[in-house]
Amino acid sequence: MSLRHAILVLLQDEEASGYDLAREFANSIGLVWNATHQQIYLELGKLNEQNMVHYRHVPQDGKPDKKLYRITDEGRQELVRWLRRPAAPARVRDAFMVKVAGAALADPETLLGELDQLVQQRKERLANFEAEARKLERQSEGNSRFQHLTLRRGILDQEAWLAWAEEVREVLEDTLSHQH
């Protein structure tokens, strides 16, 4: 279980609300570890009980109040302990890839449509990562180097996926032309 550790990593450099964290999980870090707001609020509750994070209540007007969390010494110690232990093997659930493997039974046109949508999404994500990476390169302070590596992973991953998508497109278009 390292949702807690992903949260602690994010809280290393910044105070954040559950909502803030959920946004980060949906964007940058989401490629690597994803979580919905329900999971995050639950985990923040547990981390707070265990004194690994603390929060201050921030009233706002026009908007709902929020809780800004920050990591505690105990939380930092837990992170250090976890960093020393070998990481659990990566897990993936990519339903679109399962579809491509089973594409012999699929309608090529429908799959091509879905492929186009995913290509669009991936291109947008790539552009976001590249913009974020450029920002970080400008400021180049100490521990931003590791955040930069995370973005580099995102960039290389999108590029590899897009290259693969072109191969898929060729095969699907070829299948289509042989059907008519």
d(CA 134, CA 67): 31
Pick one of 49, 61, 63, 91: the residue that binds its own copies (CB under 8 A): 91
Closest alpha carbon to 43 in 74, 6, 90: 6
Which of the ranges 15-23, 45-53, 130-138, 161-169 carries the binding residues for its own copies, by CB under 8 A? 161-169
Give the residue carrying structure tokens 């059907």.
179
88 binds its own copies (CB under 8 A): yes
CB-based contact 158:126 (threshold 8 Å): yes
CB-based contact 86:2 (threshold 8 Å): no
Point out which residues pair with 53 in neighbouring strands: 71
Q: Show the binding pattern over residues 53-92: x = contacts DNA (CB under 7 A), - = does not.
A: -------x-xxxxxx--------------------x--x-
Q: Please choose which of DNA, its own copies, none residue 111 contacts, taking the beta carbon within 5 to 8 angstroms, the exact cut-off set by kind.
A: its own copies
User: Any idea what DSSP says for residue 127?
Assistant: H
167 binds its own copies (CB under 8 A): yes
Q: Binders of its own copies: how many residues, by CB under 8 A?
A: 61
Pick one of 61, 62, 87, 180: the residue that binds its own copies (CB under 8 A): 87
17 binds its own copies (CB under 8 A): no
Q: What is the CA radius of gyration of the chain?
A: 20
Which of the ranges 15-23, 55-63, 91-99, 126-134 carries the binding residues for its own copies, by CB under 8 A? 91-99
Q: Three-state SS across 39-75? A: HHHHHHHHHHHCCCEEEEEECCCCCCCEEEEEECHHH
146 binds its own copies (CB under 8 A): yes
3-state secondary structure at position 16? strand
Q: What is the contact surface with its own copies in residues (CB under 8 A)?
A: 2, 5-6, 8-9, 12, 29, 31-34, 76, 79-80, 83-84, 86-107, 110-111, 114, 142-143, 145-147, 149-150, 152-153, 156-157, 159-161, 163-164, 167-168, 171, 175
